[in-house]
Amino acid sequence: MQHAGNHQPTPGGLLLPVSATLKGRVRWQVLDERGLPEVPRSPSGFALAPAEGVEQPNLITDLGLDQIAAFDCFGTSPDSSATWRRYLAVGTGSTVPANGDTTLAAEVQRANSSGSFSSGTTTYELDTDDNVWRATSLVTRIVTMTEDRNLAEFGLSPASSAAVGIRELLRDSEGDPITVSLLNGKTLRVDHTLTIELPAPVAGTPATINVNQYDAGNNLVGSTPYDVVHGGYVRNSANEERLARLFGVWNPAPNHSYSSPQNCFHDSSPAAYSRTTSNSGSAASTPVQETYVSGSRQRIKRATFAAGTAVGPIYGFRFRINTEAQNAWDAGWRVVFSSPASYVKANTDTLRVGIVSTWARAA
């Protein structure tokens, strides 16, 4: 955070972290020409797994982590170009998946289809046992063979070629790689579940930030530490989906400063949500999103409150989703000054605040 007299401060300012973890899980299954489950078999005819299918882990590649910044990881429609897991690709290669993979080892076919099945669904919750905000997103994709195939690998991609963000070998129930024989007209079905979690401590996350003061030449002349508490908020349990949208696209939306103390963190009981929705006395600023840097796994947005705006005591600020039709004020990420209890913005001060959303593979 910075403030300055009668000029724009240098780039920088307060950046509050919003750190998420991602984990994927797969269930694959073979369908016959009628679309009914059948026992998967090896090229020599041996049964490999039950007709109900096999659940196994997957690898989100480095490219897949980068794609999070450009595609909707909660999108389920195979028809939308914004969907991260739009295409299912299948191949015959047996190379062990690696973080640096961008393609299958030997792709033979791909399709953006869920056939007669539901494309998928996403659910959201506040887990007060583990103290996390959780989004769970399932997509179903199928590829129907156009000729006899011996498949050993598959992947998910937002594009019609290459660009594989999730790659894995077909495995049996013991986790061992296998080759599955699919005759022309038979189908491989893959159900992929992505779980994303954000920390949700009962009392929020404490942090100490500095308010830096610069002179007219943008030289640092003083720094004052402020204790803050920050975290996600929803007005009630019906609005948990709206908070999840905030990190689902890693694109924090417009924020507001507000001039009265507000309760913003969850109680240990879901029924005890307490939220303030009044924006009385607030000032708004549309944040500027910085260009994503490949490999950084983070997205930064900063907002500037210029001289003459948001003047007076500021008790905190919040980022929220930006579609009013979705009742944007019902959910977001909120920061509260705790000691001192407020930052007093002078008429000549420029205030810069920001949020940095980061994501990584779950351990």
pLDDT digits (tens, 9 = 90+) for 113-154: 999 999 999 887 778 889 888 889 999 999 999 999 999 999
Q: State whether residue 77 is helix, strand or coil.
A: coil
Q: State whether residue 330 is helix, strand or coil.
A: helix
Average pLDDT, integer, range 174-183: 97
Is the per-residue pLDDT at 80 higher than 90?
yes
Average pLDDT, integer, range 36-54: 97
The reported pLDDT for the residue numbered 13 is 53
CA 240 to chain centre: 14
Q: What percent of the chain has pLDDT over 90?
A: 44
The reported pLDDT for the residue numbered 161 is 97
Confidence of residue 239 (pLDDT cuts 50, 70, 90): low
DSSP 8-state secondary structure symbol assigned to residue 268: S
Is the per-residue pLDDT at 175 higher than 50?
yes
The reported pLDDT for the residue numbered 337 is 81
Give, for 312, the enclosing helix (H) or strand (E).
Answer: strand 312-314
- In angstroms, the CA 31 to CA 39 distance is 8
Average pLDDT, integer, range 66-82: 91
Angle at 63 between CA 321 and CA 14, to 5 degrees: 40
DSSP 8-state secondary structure symbol assigned to residue 294: T
The reported pLDDT for the residue numbered 139 is 98
Determine which of 210-214, 257-261, 269-273, 314-318 has the lowest per-residue pLDDT on average.
269-273
- In angstroms, the CA 276 to CA 61 distance is 40
The reported pLDDT for the residue numbered 14 is 65
CA 284 to chain centre: 25
Residue bearing the bigger pLDDT, 204 or 101:
101
Is the per-residue pLDDT at 275 higher than 70?
no
Torsion of CA 334, 339, 344, 350, to 10 degrees: -60
- In angstroms, the CA 30 to CA 41 distance is 9
Minimal CA–CA distance to 196: which of 355, 65, 287, 310? Answer: 65
Determine which of 208-222, 250-264, 327-341 has the lowest per-residue pLDDT on average.
250-264
The reported pLDDT for the residue numbered 18 is 79
The 10s digit of each residue's pLDDT in 50-67 is 999 999 999 999 999 999
Is the per-residue pLDDT at 11 higher than 50?
no
The 10s digit of each residue's pLDDT in 322-355 is 544 444 455 677 777 888 888 888 888 877 787 7
DSSP 8-state secondary structure symbol assigned to residue 43: T
Q: State whether residue 67 is helix, strand or coil.
A: helix
Report which listed range, 244-258, 273-287, 294-308, 323-337, is most confident: 294-308
Determine which of 140-144, 230-234, 312-316, 359-363 has the lowest per-residue pLDDT on average.
230-234
- With beta carbons less than 8 A apart as the criterion, state whether 352 and 303 touch: yes
Average pLDDT, integer, range 195-204: 84
Average pLDDT, integer, range 63-77: 91
Q: What percent of the chain has pLDDT over 70?
A: 79
Is the per-residue pLDDT at 283 higher than 60?
yes
Place of tokens 């494309």: 119
The reported pLDDT for the residue numbered 246 is 55
The reported pLDDT for the residue numbered 120 is 97
Is the per-residue pLDDT at 234 higher than 90?
no
Minimal CA–CA distance to 100: which of 141, 52, 142, 64? Answer: 64
Q: Could you tell me the CA-to-CA distances from 136 to 122, 220, 245, 295, 362 in Å, in that order? A: 6, 45, 12, 24, 14
- How crowded is residue 34: how many other Cβ atoms within 10 Å of its Cβ? 8
Average pLDDT, integer, range 216-228: 81
Residue type, 311: V
The reported pLDDT for the residue numbered 48 is 97
Per the prediction, the chain carries an average pLDDT of: 81
